[in-house]
Structure 1
Amino acid sequence: MKTPINGNDLMALGYAEGAVLGTALKINRDRNGFTREQMMEHYANVLATPEHYTGDKVFSKLAIALIKKANEKPEDFIALNPTPDSFSAYGLDHIEDGAINQMKVAMQLPVTVAGALMPDAHQGYGLPIGGVLATNNAVIPYGVGVDIGCRMALSVYDIAEDFYYANQDKFKRELVAHSKFGAGHGFQGQYKSDHAVME
């Protein structure tokens, strides 16, 4: 199994959060026969000298995106509102600071109408994963980034509280047997019950 390269690895090389980082991560999905170390070396080289990679079969899109980003002018940007609008947050005590800060920036967008953070919110590459943003007459295609299928669900059952506590072990057993966690449902079988989310 190939060792993954994630956004933090690329940011450690000097890549900034945003669309360029997403482009870099998409290239890594196939690896194109390169090892992790070779990919990291290429990523560093493309970042340092993107003009040398504009004709490269694998890295040209990334090189062009880096050059385009470097040539952006201040007038190409829409100014953020000076202060973020307020937003709802559920389970705020358990949400990392990076996700909260990303949501604050999203709430400064001039097209933002409302926003919220769900209990599973964590830092993404644009809007936090688990963040909800309502906009006025605007679509933000890169709002979340590359966590396709990352979600949570809440099930509400019409049972009495005392019945739940009397049968808590049965409910936990059913949740463990029928819940899947991780990329590609990575935590399965005997390992699921050891996952921290089940505590």
Structure 2
Amino acid sequence: MIEEYEIKQITLEDLRSDQTGLLASNLAKLICDVFSEPPWYESYAQPRILFGLGVEMMRKTPILFIAQNNRSNKIIGYILGQELLKVTSDVRDQTLSKISSGTELDKYIEDNKRVFYVGGLGVAKDYRRMGVADKLSASLVLELKNQGFSYRLGRTDLAADKMRKLYIKQGFDELPVRDGVHVNRSYWLLRV
């Protein structure tokens, strides 16, 4: 069977060199669509997502993969994140305490081990249950191994059953840590 989609890694340079702006705007549209659904119910405007995408891609070691339909070139899925540090003096860098609003995550990460945090994983409604999220996650984990990361960290809502099942299927451990701002979100850790 021929795959209906292809997984591609996208860099900041890819986004900058896209003269049409379609790559970023199509990705922003997908992100808006995904996060408007339960359990998130967010109503983000595309310009806000475009700005946020630029910020995320300028953080320490950003990695973005997309799934793109082979026939229509429509972006049907994405996974995006960046390296986390325990401590940093660079305000652009994310830390464990910044993303969780506390220091509880620190004790689960060994010193001098690299941690990658996924801030977004989403698949368009019409392409779910086709293995897209699995393939995006597998592509990311392979890249993390190639870059010498030790951990992949994720966070999801307690009501996000499909995401929780995906984490379990992929071998993540749910940590007994809740987010400091969004108390219905828990953290999941995978040793890469």
Shorter-chain TM range is under 0.3
Q: Which has the higher strand share?
A: 2
TM-score (norm 1): 0.24
Q: Which has the larger radius of gyration?
A: 1
Q: Which has the higher helix share?
A: 1
